[in-house]
């Protein structure tokens, strides 16, 4: 019996030391897109914000109406609302009619299918089901956004810094994720680039644009671009109030981006189980 106990005492410390070594090694390895480089935090958040995803396409004749509604809501809610225009489905497929302008992304197409936002225009607010559906008609966006801003529990803040490096065509993003309440679910973080001021053809039936069937010089804003980082792990464990999780990311600038000065970076954190948005923030490049 003494020999057995002695053997166990020898084994247990060795096992503990091995685990410590593995943990230290893991801290030195960054996933693709994540980096140890930092840039100063310049945008501080202290209030709950809402993410509106406007699923759209240039062939969608009612989408100009939805885009106008999104612009109206930005004027109303200011920085508390972040709009992301996701060009997806067959309505967004390029053709010579729109100079082969392709604003689709691989993850945008995936989201449109996963959240059933395929009958355009469709909006999704904080990736939350509303009356059993993620897709929300643009006529009701205002009411639902107001409801979220009034009733959603303010769990965390996302503070941001961003730097565009022309020498290597990379965007460095620093995120300070500050939890102001306890949160029991795992969390994921997404870092995406949007571009505004892009001009192209847009089919139309809305009288606000003069009832022309095609708007030749329509301005596309808040357009989701490629090379974003989607659903990276933020915390696999419950997070305590007062916890700050600092992360830094590098994004290679999409070669299709027309004007980097008209781009912004959007960062949002989601519940790892339900996919609902916990918090969102944005910073202009």
Quick one: average pLDDT of 80-89? 98
Domain ranges of the chain: 31-284
The pLDDT value given to residue 28 = 39
- Residue that has been written with the tokens 């070669």 in this structure: 255
Give the tokens for residue 42. 């310049």
| Averaged pLDDT for residues 46-54 | 97
Instruction: State the pLDDT confidence band at 3, using cuts at 50, 70 and 90.
Output: very low
The string of pLDDT tens digits covering residues 166-215 is 999 999 999 999 999 999 999 999 999 999 999 999 999 988 887 789 99
The residue-averaged pLDDT of 79-100 equals 96
Report, as an integer, the average pLDDT of 242-255: 96
Q: What single-letter DSSP state applies at residue 253? A: P
Residue with tokens 């192209």: 200
Is the Cβ–Cβ distance between 84 and 111 less than 8 Å? Answer: no
Q: What is the mean pLDDT of residues 73-100?
A: 96
Cβ–Cβ < 8 Å for 253, 162: no
| Average pLDDT in the chain | 90
Q: Give the C-alpha separation, 133 to 178, whole Å.
A: 30
- pLDDT average, residue stretch 141-145: 98
Kindly state the DSSP code that residue 98 receives in the 8-state scheme: G
Burial class (CB in 10 A: 0-12, 13-18, 19+), 59: buried
- Band the pLDDT of 68: cuts 50, 70, 90: very high
* 156 contact partners, CB below 8 Å, separation of at least 6: 177, 178, 179, 180, 181, 183, 269, 278, 279
Whose tokens are 């030391």? That residue is: 17
The CATH number, out of the four listed (3.40.50.1970, 1.20.1090.10, 2.60.40.10, 3.30.70.20), of the domain defined by the range 31-284: 2.60.40.10
- CA 241 from chain centre, in angstroms, equals 23
């Amino acid at each position: 019996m003494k020999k057995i106990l002695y053997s166990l005492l020898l084994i247990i410390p060795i096992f503990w030391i091995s685990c410590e070594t593995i943990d230290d090694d893991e801290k030195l390895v960054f996933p693709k897109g994540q980096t140890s480089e930092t840039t100063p935090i310049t945008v501080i958040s202290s209030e709950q914000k809402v993410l509106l995803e406007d699923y759209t396409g240039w062939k969608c004749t009612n989408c100009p109406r939805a885009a106008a509604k999104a612009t109206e809501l930005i004027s109303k809610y200011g920085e508390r609302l972040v709009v992301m225009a996701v060009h997806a489905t067959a309505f967004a497929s390029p053709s010579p009619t729109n100079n082969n302008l392709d604003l689709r992304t691989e993850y945008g197409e995936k989201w449109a299918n996963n959240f059933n936002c395929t009958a355009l225009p469709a909006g999704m607010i904080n990736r939350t089901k509303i009356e059993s559906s993620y897709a929300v008609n643009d006529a009701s966006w205002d009411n639902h956004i107001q409801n979220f801003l009034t009733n959603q529990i303010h769990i965390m803040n996302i503070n941001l810094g961003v730097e565009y490096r022309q020498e290597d065509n990379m965007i460095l993003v620093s995120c300070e994720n500050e939890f102001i309440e306890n949160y029991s679910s795992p969390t994921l973080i997404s870092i995406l680039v949007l571009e505004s001021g892009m001009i192209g053809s847009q089919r139309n039936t809305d009288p606000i644009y003069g009832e022309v069937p095609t708007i030749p010089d329509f301005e596309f804003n808040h357009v989701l671009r490629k090379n974003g980082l989607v659903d990276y792990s933020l915390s696999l464990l419950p997070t305590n109030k007062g916890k700050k999780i600092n992360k830094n990311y590098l994004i290679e600038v999409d070669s299709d981006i027309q004007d980097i000065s008209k781009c912004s970076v959007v960062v949002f954190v989601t519940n790892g189980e339900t996919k609902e948005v916990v918090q969102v923030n944005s910073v202009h490049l």
